[in-house]
Amino acid sequence: MKRVVLATGGTGGHIYPAVAGAGVLEARGYAPVLMGQAGGMEERIAREGALEFVGVTAGKLAREKPDPRQVLRAARGFAEARGVLARLQPLGVVGFGGFASLPGVLGAQSLGLPTVLHEQNAQLGLTQRLALRRARAVGTAYAQVRGLPDGRGRLVGMPVREARLERRAALAKLGLQDGPLTILIMGGSQGSLALNRAVPSALRAAFGQEGLFADGSVQVIHSTGPRWLGEVLPDVADLPWYRAVGYLDAVAAWSAADLAITRAGTGTLAEAAFHGVPVVMVPLPSSAENHQVRNAEAVEAKGAGRMVPQDALSGSLAQTVLECVPSDVRTSMGVRARERSPQGAAGKLADLVEETLVGAARAQV
């Protein structure tokens, strides 16, 4: 059996590219196995996608003040991953970054199994740096990745679920009207507390004074994350044009959106690009290596979005959104977004994985 292990977990930005890559590899005759943190969201997502999953212990490695307990968990996960890989005997392991991927990648390298890394951000992450020296190949989502030596990576893009809905069908699925400008608020796979608290008041101020909400010209669909829905609902209860939900079908949401307010994770920005949706980006200030700022800078440089720092939300968000609303502005930004589309990225990553694994197999003959 041609098994390939995809080591991933922690956030949707790490998990969904692995799921997309697994789908392509499976169609090519491989047997993909997802490996991640036992009990993590990756286990649920793998189960929903009917993918084989193996869970191991994972520990977060803090950069400034390591927690000995987390280091011990990481060491335990490494030992568990080694045992699983020795049993499965895969052709190789693909690491998607994040702390939950580290046991599988380092475990594979300790056993002499070939590894391929996929770096989703414009800044090389800590886990990828730890695995870089012994990795056979590196696929990237950005043409330039800070911290990655020149010539070390190959641009493949960010694998996303390549599915779209017709706009009217998407709006109907979300319970929205066909006609108004549709603004999507998406704070990532688990929601964003900062966006949840700042966006309702900012949009109320921006469009209330213009009268756009009152005349039905604008409507909002806001994915708060299940944890935060109860906090947001009272803030928008008097706004019939503002719908807050805990979780959204991403394909429907992006297919319906005319403009989005988001964090700046690569997965979110790749979905926006695939669907040609302009974005107002609020990078997470605490993102590892400040990678969300780097991601947002890259998108803004291409003219596909605008960046608003989190500490400037109260003063700048409303004005920035209003500047992006005119149809000519959105059309131009949408064209630039489509130029960044990751369509075909899952296939390109699968190509890289196949080439690397075949090359490694031949070298052993």
CATH number for the domain that contains residue 33: 3.40.50.2000
pLDDT at 291 > cutoff 80: yes
Q: In percent, how much of the chain has pLDDT > 90?
A: 68
What does each C-alpha distance from 305 to 141, 190, 277, 298, 299 come to in angstroms?
17, 22, 9, 9, 6
189 is known to lie in a ligand binding site:
yes
Residues 335 and 195 in one domain: yes
Say if residue 99 is in the same domain as residue 189. Answer: no
Annotated ligand binding at 290? The verdict is: no
Shared-domain flag, residues 223 and 319? yes
Q: Are residues 65 and 190 in the same domain?
A: no
Residue 4 has pLDDT above 60, yes or no: yes
Range of the domain at 60: 2-161+343-363
209 is in an annotated binding site: no
CA 325: distance to chain centroid? Answer: 25
**Does 11 count as an annotated binding residue?**
yes
Question: Range with the lowest mean pLDDT among 56-70, 212-226, 267-281, 289-303?
Answer: 56-70
pLDDT of residue 20: 93
Q: Are residues 137 and 280 located together in one domain of the fold?
A: no
Residue 261 and residue 274 in one domain: yes
Over residues 3-28, the mean pLDDT reads: 92
Annotated binding-site residue? 167: no
Q: State the greatest distance between any 2 C-alpha atoms of the chain, in Å, as a whole number.
A: 72
- Number of Cβ atoms within 10 Å of the Cβ of 89: 10
Which among 248, 188, 190 is positioned nearest to 220, based on CA atoms? 248
Q: How far is CA 121 from CA 46, 80, 270, in A?
A: 23, 28, 11
Residue 238 and residue 356 in one domain: no
Tally of domains within the chain: 2
Q: How confident is the model at residue 270 (pLDDT cuts 50, 70, 90)?
A: very high
Q: Which residue has the higher pLDDT, 1 or 175?
A: 175
* Predicted local distance difference test score (pLDDT) of residue 123: 84
110 is in an annotated binding site: no
Residues 274-283 have a mean pLDDT of: 97
Residues 199-213: what's their mean pLDDT? 75
Contact partners, residue 48, CB within 8 Å, separation at least 6: none
Mean pLDDT of 207-219: 67
- 347 and 293 housed in the same domain: no
Residue 209 has pLDDT above 70, yes or no: no
User: Has residue 84 got a pLDDT over 60?
Assistant: yes
pLDDT > 70? residue 361:
no
Per-residue pLDDT band at 215 (split at 50, 70, 90): low
- Alpha-carbon distance of 302 to 64, in angstroms, equals 33
Mean pLDDT of 229-247: 91
CA distance 127 to 85: 19
Q: Average pLDDT over the chain, rounded to whole? A: 90
* Residue 48 clears pLDDT 90, i.e. is over it: no
Q: How confident is the model at residue 180 (pLDDT cuts 50, 70, 90)?
A: very high
189: confidence class by pLDDT, cuts 50, 70, 90? low
**Mean pLDDT calculated for residue range 196-221:** 79
* One domain for residues 172 and 312: yes
Same domain for 112 and 10: yes
Asked whether the predicted pLDDT for residue 146 surpasses 60, the reply is yes
pTM, full prediction: 0.81
139 carries a ligand binding annotation: no
Residue 9 and residue 59 share a domain: yes
Residues 171 and 152 in one domain: no
88 confidence band (pLDDT: 50, 70, 90): very high
Q: What is the pLDDT of residue 153?
A: 95
